[in-house]
Structure formats: C-alpha cells, structure tokens
Amino acid sequence: MSAIAVDVGARYVRIAHISPHGTAELVRLPGAVPGEGLPAPAEPGGTHRTTALRAAYTAYRDAHGVPDQVVLVVPQRDRAEHARRGADTLTALHGTGRAPRFRALGTPHAVLALLRHTGTVTAGRYAVCDLGATEARVAVCAVTPGTVAVTGDARQAPADGYAAGFDAALLLSAGLPAEEAQRQALAAVREADGAALRLDVMLTQAQSHPDRYHDLAVHQVAGREITAGAVLRALARLTTCLDQVLDEASDDQPRGAAVAVGGAARFLPLVRHLTERQGESVALPAGVDPALAAVYGAALVAAGRIDPADRYPYAVCVGTHRTVAGRPRDEELLLSAAGALEPGGATVFAEADGQRVRLRTGPEGTAAGRPVRVRVRDTAGRRTAPVQTLLLPDGGEGDRFHVGVRVAVDGTARLVLQPLGTGAPSEYPLGSLPTDLKEVRS
C-alpha cells in the first residue's frame, strides 16, 4: 500500500512517506528543495492552500502514481473547513478515476503522533507550538492512553508574517529588499555548517555586553552586514508574539511541556526563550527537522504505524429493551459510530433516520435501578468488548430521553441522558473505553 502525508505551508508543500527502512522521509519530487519540499505557488489569502495542494499532489501523482491513502495536515482552528476543501481538491483532480482514501489531521495531533510513536511523550499536558512563516500557533493538548484532546488553541498572524517578518526585518536592517532572492540568500547563510551555533554564541555575548557586541556582524548577505543588535531587535518581535499566543491558549490552565515545531523552531534563541518561559520542553526525535515534524507524524498515521487518537476508533452501543407483539426483545442501539467521538468534544447522541432516538429508562427496573449494558464494536462488527453495566434510575411512564456518549479531556467516557424539553442532562461515568480490540473476540 502506498500512503503519503501532505503538509501545505506558506513557503513549501511537504510530502512524506515511510521508507523501506521504516523511517519517515520526504518524497523525492522534481523541483523540490532538499530538506524543504516543493515551493508553494504564491497565491493570496484563502486560495493559497488549495492552489499549493493541487500543484504538489499533481507533481506527486505524475512521478509516483495514485497513492492508496493521503493524510493531509491542516491547522487545528477551522480544521473541518480545511479538511472539506482538501477532500474537494483531491476529488476534483481524480474526476471519475480511482481516488485515494483521504483523512485530515490537525497539526498538534500529527506532531504528537510522531512523539507518541517514539515514546517521547506519555500521559500529560503539552503545548504544541507551531512557529511558521506567517503565524505562530499554540495548541494545548491533554494526552491520555488512546486519546489526545486539544484543550486550548490560539494563533497570531502579524501583517508581515511571523518568521517571514523576522527575515524581512533583518534584510531591511542591512538595506536589502525583502524579496525572494534575498530571503533565499539569508537562508543559505543560516544553513552553513556551524552557523546556528556561532550565531547563538554571538547573540549571547551581545545580550550580556550590548556596548561591545551589538554592532558585531553576524551575517553577511549580498555584501551587506546584519548585526547582532538587528537580530536581537527582530527576535523581540518573535518572542513577544509567542508569549501572547501562549497566554491566550492556556486560558489560566497548566500548559505542560512545550513542543517547538515549524520553520522558526530551527532558530535556537527562539526555542531557548520558549524553554525559559515554559519551564520545560520536549525534544524531537534525533535528526528530525522541526519543520518536518508534523508531516513525519502524519506519514506514520498514513502508513498505519500509529493511531493519531483524535477520534475514538470504535462504535459505542447500549443495550435496550422493547416489546414486539407482546414479547420483550433485547436489542442494541448504536450511540456513536466509529470515529465519531472526539476527546473533549461534544456529546454524540443516538440517531435514527436523521432524528435523535427517544428512550425511557423505566419503570420496570429493580429497586437499585435498571441495568444497562454498554459495549464497543470494531467497524466490521466481528469484535466487541464490554465497557460497563450501569444502573440507571427508573423514570416515570411519560419520561423520555435522548441518549448519547461523550469522551472527556481526560480520556474517560460518560453516558449522557438528555431529558426532552427542559432539564439538565444526567451523566454516568463509563471509565476509559477500550482502545485495542485486536485480541478481543465476539
């Protein structure tokens, strides 16, 4: 099976897969920049992602054929809309021909899939900081066995860009235009062997002794010098913006350890500031470029190496009783289909023909209440596992409820009874839902 992941950025589109050696890597494509991906076409506003995805996917298909599976990395905010546009774009490119299976994956889930796969993160809270060319995004995530819930999400997109604005400020300080040729020249200077470490040492000296080192040249681009003072002033723009996004995403809740990804996360002074601000950080697996972390994690998901835990993978059912032709009959009601439950998301209610099912809980139960069995099933229905048998209180003859299920941020599930009309819903703990039915038989 051929499976790929696609991450559309402001400057590059990155397409990755799992190599025969079992590691994630960028797919080789004509015109790609080594270590970066395919340059993204310059398009304004909301058309950028669609145009870039179309061009990059066409280049892949021309070189390697139609894949079986495509996982598209999308921003966490408005991800449903980004997913819809991505699916529409790929569908249109195939017309009536064979199309790949498609799924969208939010950036924080893609990054954490990579870290969970390598055992770098376990249960806890993490702040995934996506520091890109146009904006800084922070998603606060709660990781539990089998689930990853986004509890806070914030972004800022400065008018001149985030990392792009930083580069423009450096070029303008040297009297150079912030054009593509100059940006590429600046990038080449940074990527020279030992350049990042040398810059880090020079900036540390400039911060400690500004009178002596602020005018020290740290880069030379097109014959012009960029000084340590200019870099520090531009760095302050990045750190101020990042601090604001961190505060907005946390909503007075603990953020946990920070994970820095995106092109700007290559800049060591910015990552150091994040670590000092956050108090702790998570290192990416050895050799992983922070700009490629999301697409590498998505490639692992595409290849089936790890579940991203952004949706509960199995169907949740509840046992019901009804009388048919005067005889009692036990039945099973589907509460939520496989992949419908999102950790920390809304309650999913049982439906039939597009309408919520109405049920009653009594009055034939015992004094302790009516026993109700909750089970989960795989998509083929061949494997099931019991979750819990609840004792629900008896209701009146005319009482009716909508019944549903939700998964909390901590990964535990709740059975929800919502009275028709007015009235607060009742919730009954189910504990953690089973996350692996491979060894379970019906």
pLDDT of residue 313: 86
pLDDT of residue 438: 64
Within 10 angstroms of residue 111's Cβ, the number of other Cβ atoms is 33
Q: How many residues does the chain have?
A: 442
> Across the chain, what does the average pLDDT equal?
88
Is the pLDDT confidence value at 435 over 80?
no
Mean pLDDT is highest, among 139-143, 192-196, 394-398, for 139-143
User: Which pLDDT band holds residue 193 (cuts at 50, 70, 90)?
Assistant: confident
Is the pLDDT confidence value at 22 over 80?
yes
pLDDT of residue 46: 60
Q: What is the C-alpha end-to-end distance of the chain, expressed in Å?
A: 29
Mean pLDDT is highest, among 53-57, 185-189, 324-328, 409-413, for 53-57
pLDDT of residue 442: 43
268-298 per-position pLDDT tens digit: 999 999 998 888 789 999 889 999 999 999 9
> Which of residues 108 and 319 earns the better pLDDT score?
108
pLDDT of residue 135: 95
Structure token digits, residue 201: 């040492």
> Which of residues 363 and 355 earns the better pLDDT score?
355
Average pLDDT over residues 300-320: 91
pLDDT of residue 397: 60
pLDDT of residue 300: 97
Query: DSSP states of 378-392 as a string?
Result: -TTSS-EEEEEEEEE
Structure token digits, residue 37: 């991906």
Query: DSSP states of 311-333 as a string?
Result: S--SEEEEEEEEEETTEEEEEEE
Structure token digits, residue 358: 């109405």
Average pLDDT over residues 354-367: 69
Distance, CA of 41 to CA of 435 (rounded, Å): 41
pLDDT of residue 365: 47
Distance, CA of 241 to CA of 277 (rounded, Å): 13
pLDDT of residue 191: 86
375-431 per-position pLDDT tens digit: 998 877 678 888 888 888 766 666 788 999 999 888 889 999 998 877 788 899 998
pLDDT of residue 107: 96
Yes or no: say if 7 and 70 are a contact pair by the CB < 8 Å rule.
Answer: no
Is the pLDDT confidence value at 31 over 50?
yes
Distance, CA of 376 to CA of 385 (rounded, Å): 5
Distance, CA of 166 to CA of 237 (rounded, Å): 7
pLDDT of residue 258: 94
pTM: 0.86
List C-alpha distances in Å: 228 to 187, 216, 360: 16, 6, 72
pLDDT of residue 366: 46
Q: Which of 6-15, 39-48, 124-133, 413-422 has the lowest mean pLDDT?
A: 39-48
pLDDT of residue 230: 92
List C-alpha distances in Å: 295 to 44, 106, 388, 415: 23, 11, 38, 36
Is the pLDDT confidence value at 364 over 60?
no
Distance, CA of 317 to CA of 334 (rounded, Å): 4
79-98 per-position pLDDT tens digit: 888 889 999 999 999 988 88
Beta strand extents in 254-394 (DSSP E only): 257-261, 315-324, 327-336, 348-349, 351-352, 355-356, 358-359, 370-377, 384-392
Among the listed residues 362, 338, 363, 361, the one whose alpha carbon sits nearest the alpha carbon of residue 348? 338
Is the pLDDT confidence value at 60 over 80?
yes
Within 10 angstroms of residue 94's Cβ, the number of other Cβ atoms is 13
Yes or no: say if 196 and 204 are a contact pair by the CB < 8 Å rule.
Answer: no
Distance, CA of 257 to CA of 250 (rounded, Å): 12
